[in-house]
Every structure is written in structure tokens, then in C-alpha cells.
Amino acid sequence: MALARGYAATDASKPLEPFTFERREPREDDVVISIKYSGICHSDIHQARNEWGNSAFPMVPGHEIAGIVTAVGSKVSKFKVGDRVGVGCFVDSCTTCASRDVDLEQYMPGLVPTYNGVEADGETPTQGGYSDHIVVKEGYVLSIPENLPFEATAPLLCAGITLYSPLRNWGAGPGKKVAVVGMGGLGHMGVKLAHAMGADVTVLSQSLSKKEDGLKLGADHYYATSDAETFKTLAGTFDLILCTVSAEIDWNAYLGLLKVDGTLVLLGIPEKPVPVHAFALVPARRSIAGSMIGSIKETQEMLDFCGEHNIVSEIELIRMDQVNEAYERVIKSDVRYRFVIDMATL
């Protein structure tokens, strides 16, 4: 066992605080990673505050990890000391079931989340990226392209893949009209990725306050959802709408923005059920769907795509002791567009 330092939530109602815990010694197929940067995802906040009702404490959040390999087990062949690597939302999964074969392991019950989960042994709690190092099986470690600025790659490991996967699955590309609802951590990555794939991109934000940024990042159009005219102007427009909002919104109004055969994909996870009127779906053969992160194979494909297209996150780099203040700012939609913790400040 090796001691690790980090920041943990010890209770749903308390701020995060310094925390020391143990990481396992590397096994033959493990990679030891010195964590350099850790992104703050809104899911970290949902879980640190037990908003999904499934939190175990103490909890070291963080599933947008960028770091350097410091040691490898004897059977590791893909990575060597000094490599720039990433770890995303999960660190183990079923290895035998069919979904692993088709690279959909993120949807399997055997998935081991990077934190707030339990390892395959059924008892050791997993702890995440707000820490100095992590030990991860080789098969769950990603390579980060050398040309990308390191600190801004951390958010690709969750925000990036969460948007990349549905864009690919629903065929975003030239001739397709894609809307991204919410210009936050996930949303701004959706704008960049959909633009790079050649789609016509619209941002649907609560206000026009981030319009200039949205257009700079690759949006072709930008509308405020607080303006009722938006829903009239854009009725029947989109092939695909990716919704990153976790608040209660008027789902039927958003469905009305889809073309015939269009799909609304939920990425944000509201606490309450989503009420949908049959008339919002039936007369235009529309679908409503959900999507969660992506497989390891697809995450590597996304990182390589970002390397080719020079895509990283827009970030605000913060010190570890600013994490609680950063959480408050994320909740107020006051982040441009992802907080990343500089782990050297731990």
C-alpha cells in the first residue's frame, strides 16, 4: 500500500477537505500515474452532495484525470514511465460479457466507477482524481496526444467523450443540424466536437451572455431559451439535440425543435422524471434517448480526433484549496468552461 494525499467529501453537507488514504501497490497489469491535472465535472458535485442518493463517504471525486506514468507492472505493454496519460469515469468493467466485445462496457453492471464505487474485489472503495496519484489497470488508461496542452486535456476524459459518443452514434456531420442545450463544461465540448465533425451547430443557452464565446468555439447559431420566440423560430429544425442540462426544463418544447426522425439525447441527469407528451413525439416520429460517456476504445478515438483537430477544453486552472469555491461557481453556471485543478498545489 502507498499513502495518497487528496481532497475528500466526508459528508454530503460538508465542504471538501484534505484527506489521506491508501492506494494499492501496482499489480502486473497496473499503471501508476502521478496526477497533474484534474477536471471538475458537475457529476462530482452531484455525488459529493449525494444528489443522486448513491454516495459513499469519504469520497475523493474526480474522473477527468491527466497525469504522467511513474511505474508500470511487469505485464504492461502499452505504457512506459514518462508517458502522458488520462483516466476517465471508470477503471474496470466486465471483461467477459458481450458488451465488452462490442465496446459498450460503460453500460454494463460490472462497471467500476473511478470514484464512489467499489473495485472488482467487491469491497475496496475507489477514489478519484483530486489526489496525487492513482493506480489503474492498463486497459483503462488512455494515451493523450503529445500536441495538446496538457492541463486542458483533462476535461476530455469525461466532458469530451460524453459529447463525442452521441455525436458519432447519431451521425453528426456535414448536412446535419445539431443543437447543444447548455453552454457549460459538457456543452462547450459539444460545440467544438460537432463543429469539427462538420455539422451545423446551434447553442441553446438560457441567455445570450456567452454568445460571443459560443460562436468563437464553432457554433453557427446561438439562441436564448429564455426568449419564447426561439421555440417558434427553430420549430422542426434539428436532426439531433444534445441536452446537457440537469435542471427541470420544458422537454416537450425542446422536442418540438426536432425534424421528422430527429432525436433528443439526454446527457444531463435531472433528479425528477422527464414528462413527455405523446404529441411531441408521435406526429414526427421523434425519439428521446440517453447516452453515458463512451467505451475505452471510443475514448481513445476521441482523444486522437482531438489531437488531429487541436481540440481541448476551455479551462480555468485553480488551486486545490479553491475547489469548494469552484463548486459554487459551477452551480451558478459561472465557469468558462471547465475548472481544472492544478494538482501541484495539493
Instruction: Report the interface residues with ligand NAP, using CB under 6 A.
Output: 41-43, 46, 158, 162, 182-187, 205-206, 210, 244-247, 249, 267-269, 291-293, 330, 333, 335
Q: Minimum distance between the CB of residue 215 and ligand NAP, rounded to whole angstroms? A: 13
Of 33 and 183, which has the nearer Cβ to ligand NAP? Answer: 183
Q: Which does 206 bind (CB under 5 to 8 A by kind): Zn ion, ligand NAP, none?
A: ligand NAP
Amino acid occupying residue 207: S
Of 244 and 263, which has the nearer Cβ to ligand NAP? Answer: 244
CA distance 248 to 290: 16
Please give the DSSP secondary-structure letter assigned to residue 197: T
Question: Closest residue to ligand NAP, Cβ-based?
Answer: 184
Task: Rule CB under 5 A: choose which of 4, 41, 183, 257 binds Zn ion.
Answer: 41
Q: Minimum distance between the CB of residue 225 and ligand NAP, rounded to whole angstroms? A: 7
Q: Beta 287-290 vs 221-224: how paired, if at all?
A: unpaired
* Number of alpha carbons in the 13 Å side-chain half-sphere of residue 158: 30
Of 82 and 275, which has the nearer Cβ to ligand NAP? Answer: 275
Decide: helix, strand or coil at residue 203.
strand
Q: What are phi and psi of 108, to 5 degrees?
A: -95, 150
Q: Are 182 and 175 in contact (CB under 8 A)?
A: no
214 membership: H or E segment, kind and range: helix 211-217
CA distance 306 to 193: 8
Q: Minimum distance between the CB of residue 63 and Zn ion, rounded to whole angstroms? A: 5
Of 160 and 256, which has the nearer Cβ to Zn ion? Answer: 160
Q: Minimum distance between the CB of residue 89 and ligand NAP, rounded to whole angstroms? A: 7
Of 79 and 251, which has the nearer Cβ to ligand NAP? Answer: 251
Of 70 and 252, which has the nearer Cβ to ligand NAP? Answer: 252
Site string for Zn ion, 147-186 (x = CB under 5 A): -----------x----------------------------
Q: Are 312 and 287 in contact (CB under 8 A)?
A: no
Q: Minimum distance between the CB of residue 90 and ligand NAP, rounded to whole angstroms? A: 11
Task: Rule CB under 5 A: choose which of 38, 43, 47, 114 binds Zn ion.
Answer: 43
DSSP 281-294: HGGGT-EEEE----
Question: Left if phi > 0, otherwise alpha if psi is -120 to 50, otherwise beta: which for 231?
Answer: alpha
CB burial of residue 203 (10 Å; 0-12, 13-18, 19+): buried
Interface residues with Zn ion (CB under 5 A) are 41, 43, 158
